[in-house]
C-alpha cells in the first residue's frame, strides 16, 4: 500500500549553485542552523477537502510540522518558534520579506503551498537564503493524499541535501523487533515504522520468537530470523504482500541474515554440530554457497557496498573479533586489535567505515573503525547496547540499548537509540513498545 504511491517530482526552477548557506555535517554541530519553517499555505476549499479525507484540521501546518521535527531531530538545524513569524504563509511563499525573517535570526526559510487537485495532493515548496535574500530551491510534486507524511519527509530530504550537500535519510523506514513482557518471557514481534516513529505496524503476531530483521536495499523485502515451529531459520518476507518463505534448506539453525548490496543474495550463518560458518543463498537460482570454513564461530556477516568484501565476526583467535575477507571467502584478515571483544560489524553505505559493538571491562560501546581496522572511534558507552544499523547516507547510526535490572531483577527495558557518526546528537527513538534490532531502509523515493 505504502509503495503504491504516485509521485511526480518536477523542478520549478533550476537549482542554482550559489555558494550560499552551508551546513558542515562532518563534525559535531554545536551551533545548529536557525531555520524558519513557515506553515505551508492552504486555500479554503483544499483545506476542507483534506479535512474530509485525512481528518486533519490544516494539512499545510501538519506537513510543515513534520519538516520542522525532522530538521530538529537531525541536530544540525534549529527550527524557530512559529509564534515569532510575522509573514502570512501564502505571501511568504510568493515573496518573503527577508528583513522580517532576518529579525528573528532565521538564516534559511522554508515556505510552500498545498492544494487539492483532481483528488490528489499537490505540494510546492521553496527554500530561501534569508541573508542573501535569494531562493535556493523550488520543487513541486503531486501524490495521493494518504502519502502526506511522506511529503513532509521528502521536503526535509531536499532541504537537508541542499544545505549539507549530502543526501537525506528522512523518507525512510525502520524495521525492528517490538518487545513486551517480563525479561524471562518476552513476547517479540516484527514491526515497521517511519523513521520518525509514525505509521507503526506489526508484521507478526508474537506467537513465535523473531529476531534481527534487515531491510533489502530494494526495500520491499526483509530477511529475519524466526523460531516458527521451534526451528530457528532465516526467512524472507515481502512486506507489501505479507508472503514469506524459509531461505534455503539447511539441516539446522540459520541466523544473522543480511542482503547483498544488490539485493540478490542473502548472507547468513548456518550452525551445525557446534560450528557456525557463513553461507550465501542466491535468491534467483537458489544456489547455496559456503563462504567461510573454520571450526570457530563465524557470524554477523555484512557486505561492503560494492559487494566485493565481507566483514564478519569470528572467535577463531579465541575471542570475538572483526575480520574482513573477499566475497568468495578468500584472504581472511583480522582488523580489530583493540582491548576487549568486538561484534556485529556493519559496513557503512559510504564504504569507508565499519560500525561495531565492543565489550570491554563490563561496558558495551558502539563504535566505528576504518575498513583496515585503524582509526577506531567509540561513539557511546552503556551497560548494554549493540547492533548498529546505518542511515542510508552513512551519517547516523541506530542501535538498541537494554537497561541493567535492579537487585530484584526489575526495571528491564529495551529501546532504540540513534547517534551521529560524530558522536553527537544521541537520542532515544520513541516506539510504542520496547524495541530492539533496528534496521534502517534506504530512501523510499529518489
Partner 1 sequence: MKLSKTLKNGFLILVSCLILTACATKKTETTGQLQGDVYTGSDSVEYLASGVPDRVFFATNEIVLTTASRETLRKQATWLRKNSDINVVLEGHADERGTREYNLALGERRANSAKDYLMTYGISSDRISVLSYGKEKPVDSGSNPLAWSKNRRSVTVKAN
Asked whether position 404 contacts partner 1 by CB under 8 A, the answer is: yes
The only residue of 3, 44, 119, 184 in contact with partner 1, by rule CB under 8 A: 184
Asked whether position 276 contacts partner 1 by CB under 8 A, the answer is: yes
Asked whether position 196 contacts partner 1 by CB under 8 A, the answer is: no
Asked whether position 209 contacts partner 1 by CB under 8 A, the answer is: yes
Q: Which is nearer to partner 1, 124 or 196 (CB)?
A: 196
Q: Which is nearer to partner 1, 116 or 342 (CB)?
A: 342
Minimum gap (Å) between residue 315 Cβ and partner 1: 8
Minimum gap (Å) between residue 411 Cβ and partner 1: 9
Contact range with partner 1 by CB under 8 A, out of 72-80, 115-123, 149-157, 382-390: 382-390
Minimum gap (Å) between residue 81 Cβ and partner 1: 24
Asked whether position 386 contacts partner 1 by CB under 8 A, the answer is: yes
Asked whether position 437 contacts partner 1 by CB under 8 A, the answer is: yes
Q: How far is CA 406 from CA 341, 359, 370, 381, in A?
A: 25, 21, 37, 19
| Residues from 29 through 68 that contact partner 1 (CB under 8 A) | none
The only residue of 171, 194, 402, 420 in contact with partner 1, by rule CB under 8 A: 402
Asked whether position 149 contacts partner 1 by CB under 8 A, the answer is: no
The only residue of 211, 246, 288, 378 in contact with partner 1, by rule CB under 8 A: 211
Asked whether position 297 contacts partner 1 by CB under 8 A, the answer is: yes
Q: Which is nearer to partner 1, 66 or 234 (CB)?
A: 234
Which residues, including other chains, have CB under 8 Å from residue 15's CB and lie 6 or more apart? 136, 137, 162
Asked whether position 271 contacts partner 1 by CB under 8 A, the answer is: yes
Which residue in 384, 339, 393 sits closest to 366, CA to CA? 384
| Residues from 303 through 332 that contact partner 1 (CB under 8 A) | 313, 315, 319-320
Minimum gap (Å) between residue 203 Cβ and partner 1: 18
The only residue of 120, 149, 183, 326 in contact with partner 1, by rule CB under 8 A: 183
Minimum gap (Å) between residue 443 Cβ and partner 1: 27
The only residue of 182, 198, 308, 381 in contact with partner 1, by rule CB under 8 A: 182
Q: Map grid coordinates 551521529 to a residue.
A: 420
- How far from chain centre, in Å, is Cα 124? 26
The only residue of 232, 305, 338, 340 in contact with partner 1, by rule CB under 8 A: 232
The only residue of 29, 107, 212, 348 in contact with partner 1, by rule CB under 8 A: 212
Q: How far is CA 311 from CA 26, 104, 292, 329, 373, in A?
A: 25, 49, 11, 10, 11
Q: Which is nearer to partner 1, 275 or 446 (CB)?
A: 275
State in Å, rounded, how far the first CA of the chain is from the last one. Answer: 18
Asked whether position 256 contacts partner 1 by CB under 8 A, the answer is: yes
Residues that bind partner 1 in the complex, under the rule CB under 8 A: 180-184, 186, 209, 211-212, 225, 230, 232, 252-253, 255-256, 269, 271, 273-276, 297, 299-300, 313, 315, 319-320, 341, 343-344, 357, 359, 362, 383-384, 386-387, 402, 404-405, 407-410, 412, 432-433, 437
Amino acid at each position: 500500500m505504502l509503495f503504491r504511491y504516485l509521485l511526480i517530482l518536477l523542478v520549478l526552477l533550476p537549482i542554482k549553485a550559489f555558494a550560499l548557506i552551508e551546513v558542515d555535517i562532518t563534525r559535531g554541530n554545536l551551533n545548529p542552523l536557525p531555520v524558519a519553517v513557515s506553515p505551508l499555505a492552504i486555500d479554503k476549499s483544499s483545506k476542507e477537502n483534506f479535512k474530509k479525507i485525512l481528518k486533519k484540521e490544516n494539512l499545510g501546518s501538519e506537513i510543515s510540522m513534520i519538516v520542522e521535527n525532522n530538521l530538529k531531530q537531525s541536530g544540525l538545524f534549529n527550527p524557530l518558534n512559529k509564534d515569532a513569524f510575522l509573514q502570512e504563509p501564502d505571501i511568504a511563499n510568493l515573496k518573503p520579506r527577508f528583513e522580517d525573517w532576518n529579525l528573528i535570526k532565521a538564516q534559511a526559510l522554508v515556505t510552500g503551498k498545498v492544494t487539492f487537485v483532481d483528488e490528489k495532493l499537490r505540494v510546492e515548496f521553496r527554500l530561501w537564503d534569508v541573508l542573501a535574500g535569494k531562493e535556493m530551491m523550488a520543487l513541486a510534486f503531486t501524490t495521493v493524499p494518504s502519502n502526506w507524511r511522506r511529503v513532509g519527509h521528502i521536503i526535509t530530504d531536499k532541504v537537508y541535501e541542499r544545505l549539507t550537500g549530502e543526501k537525506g535519510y528522512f523518507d525512510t523506514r525502520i524495521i525492528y523487533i517490538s518487545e513486551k513482557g517480563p525479561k524471562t518471557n518476552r513476547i517479540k514481534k516484527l514491526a515497521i515504522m517511519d523513521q520518525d516513529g509514525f505509521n507503526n505496524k506489526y508484521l507478526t503476531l508474537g506467537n513465535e520468537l523473531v529476531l534481527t530483521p534487515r531491510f533489502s536495499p530494494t526495500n520491499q523485502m526483509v530477511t529475519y530470523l524466526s523460531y516458527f515451529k521451534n526451528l530457528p531459520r532465516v526467512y524472507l518476507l515481502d512486506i507489501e504482500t505479507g508472503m514469506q518463505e524459509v531461505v534455503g534448506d539447511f539441516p539446522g539453525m540459520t541466523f544473522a541474515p543480511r542482503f547483498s548490496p544488490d539485493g540478490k543474495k542473502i548472507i547468513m550463518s548456518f550452525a551445525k554440530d557446534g560450528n557456525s560458518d557463513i553461507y550465501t543463498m542466491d535468491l534467483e537460482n537458489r544456489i547455496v554457497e559456503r563462504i567461510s570454513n573454520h571450526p570457530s564461530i563465524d557470524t554477523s556477516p555484512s557486505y561492503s557496498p560494492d559487494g566485493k568484501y565481507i566483514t564478519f565476526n569470528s572467535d577463531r583467535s579465541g575471542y570475538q573479533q572483526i575480520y574482513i575477507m573477499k566475497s568468495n571467502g578468500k584472504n581472511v584478515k583480522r582488523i580489530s586489535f583493540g582491548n576487549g571483544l568486538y561484534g556485529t560489524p556493519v559496513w557503512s553505505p559510504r564504504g569507508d567505515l565499519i560500525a561495531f559493538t565492543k565489550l570491554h571491562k563490563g561496558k558495551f560501546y558502539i563504535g566505528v573503525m576504518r575498513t583496515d581496522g585503524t582509526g577506531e572511534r567509540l561513539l557511546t558507552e552503556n551497560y548494554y547496547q549493540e547492533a548498529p544499523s546505518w542511515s542510508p547516507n552513512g551519517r547516523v547510526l541506530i542501535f538498541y540499548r537494554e537497561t541493567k535490572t535492579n537487585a530484584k531483577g526489575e526495571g528491564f527495558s529495551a529501546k532504540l537509540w540513534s547517534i551521529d557518526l560524530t558522536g553527537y546528537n544521541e537520542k532515544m527513538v520513541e516506539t510504542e513498545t520496547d524495541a530492539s534490532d533496528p534496521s534502517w531502509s534506504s530512501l523510499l523515493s529518489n
